[in-house]
Amino acid sequence: MIVYPCQSLCGLNGLHLRILDCGHASSAREWVGNVVSPSYSRLYYICGGDPYFTTAEGRTVEMKAGCCYFLPAGFSFDHACRTQMEQLYFHIQLIDDTGLDLFRGCSEMMVDTPGEERIRRMIELAASKQPDDALRLRQELYATILTMLERSGVHLSRTDYARCILDAVAYIRKNLSVQLTVKQLADHAHVSESTLEKAFRAELGMTVGRYVDEEIFLAAERQLKQTKLSIAQISERFGFCDQFYFSRRFRARYGLSPQQYRKRYPF
């Protein structure tokens, strides 16, 4: 017997579609907001209504029923609807074995046309508690993403990040706190502070501090949406000096206090 090993085995085991949040939402004109350089990508499956978004460059895109829109990490936009909207949404990251998001390599929005019937079926799957339905829904997400990539001519690729970045990212995720300093991370990665900062700017397009902030507030979002921890407990968990400072930082980032954010996305 001759066995030819699967050359993509590492890639298969090293890729994970992380679903940070999802939901079936319907709204009137209160669906309005501003998203600035988000740390995750969004999939909007539109069921009905007249939602739209406006890019940072001023281009307005009407979101049509039966279509799905992919807005990548780092893509800033305003969103609203003229009268009402209904959608199935997902907040996602495609994490490789380095712990970094491959979707950060996408710079433009992408569109697919699954159709209203298929989207309604996905809503049914999302409401189910059965494991096989969860697998079917994940399969639909992969199909949507692959179709979009193929139509847009986008090819995802892994970046050979500097060793110091990989070491720093792993340390950040294990010790997530606003108390982390560049010096701590540089010492852990066995490089100078300036070398680490230059590597983050060159390869991730952001400072070390901004990367830490993005990871902290992404985790804080999940705590607010998915747990019953108090604001004080969440604040303490991420090393803020008090819940009031955490609330100020959160409001500056999302335009809502943690309490308001939690009410909008109830547990």
CB–CB of 224/253 below 8 Å?
Answer: no
* Confidence band of 10 (pLDDT split at 50, 70, 90): low
Give percent of the chain with pLDDT exceeding 90: 69
d(CA 140, CA 142): 5
Same domain, 241 and 206: yes
Decide if 158 is inside a domain: no
pLDDT digits (tens, 9 = 90+) for 186-207: 999 999 999 999 999 998 888 9
Same domain, 105 and 34: yes
- In Å, what is the CA distance from 72 to each residue of 53, 108, 241? 14, 7, 33
Tell me if residue 101 falls in helix, strand or coil.
strand
Q: DSSP states of 216-259 as a string?
A: HHHHHHHHHHH----HHHHHHHTT-S-HHHHHHHHHHHHSS-HH
Listed residues 128, 152, 176: the one ending a domain: 152
CB–CB of 158/102 below 8 Å?
Answer: yes
Instruction: Tell me 113's DSSP state.
Output: -
Same domain, 136 and 18: yes
The predicted pLDDT at position 30 comes to: 86
267 has pLDDT over 50: no
The predicted pLDDT at position 2 comes to: 80
pLDDT digits (tens, 9 = 90+) for 90-146: 999 998 877 788 898 788 899 999 999 999 999 999 999 999 999 999 999 999 999
Residue bearing the bigger pLDDT, 91 or 74? 91
Provide the CATH number for the domain around residue 100: 2.60.120.10
6 has pLDDT over 80: no
Q: What's phi and psi for 56, nearest 5 deg?
A: -60, -25
Q: Is 27 exposed, middle or buried (0-12, 13-18, 19+ CB in 10 A)?
A: middle
Same domain, 100 and 223: no
The predicted pLDDT at position 64 comes to: 97
In this prediction the pTM is: 0.80
d(CA 255, CA 15): 33
Give percent of the chain with pLDDT exceeding 70: 96
Same domain, 14 and 110: yes
Listed residues 125, 152, 179: the one ending a domain: 152
Same domain, 22 and 148: yes
The predicted pLDDT at position 9 comes to: 59
CB atoms within 10 A of CB 24: 16
* Confidence band of 256 (pLDDT split at 50, 70, 90): confident
Same domain, 16 and 146: yes
7 has pLDDT over 90: no
Decide if 3 is inside a domain: no
d(CA 206, CA 4): 42
Decide if 4 is inside a domain: no
Same domain, 142 and 177: no
Please give the sequence-ordered ranges of beta strands (E in DSSP) within the chain, or none if there are none: 16-27, 33-35, 41-55, 60-62, 68-71, 77-95, 110-112
CB–CB of 95/101 below 8 Å?
Answer: yes
Tell me if residue 40 falls in helix, strand or coil.
coil
State how many domains the chain has: 2
Listed residues 102, 125, 152: the one ending a domain: 152
pLDDT digits (tens, 9 = 90+) for 201-242: 998 888 999 999 989 998 998 899 889 999 999 999 999 999
pLDDT digits (tens, 9 = 90+) for 41-73: 999 999 999 999 999 999 999 999 999 999 999
Provide the CATH number for the domain around residue 195: 1.10.10.60
Decide if 2 is inside a domain: no
Q: Is 240 exposed, middle or buried (0-12, 13-18, 19+ CB in 10 A)?
A: buried
Same domain, 127 and 230: no
- Domain range holding 184? 163-264
* Residue from 106, 94, 74 nearest 205 by CA: 74
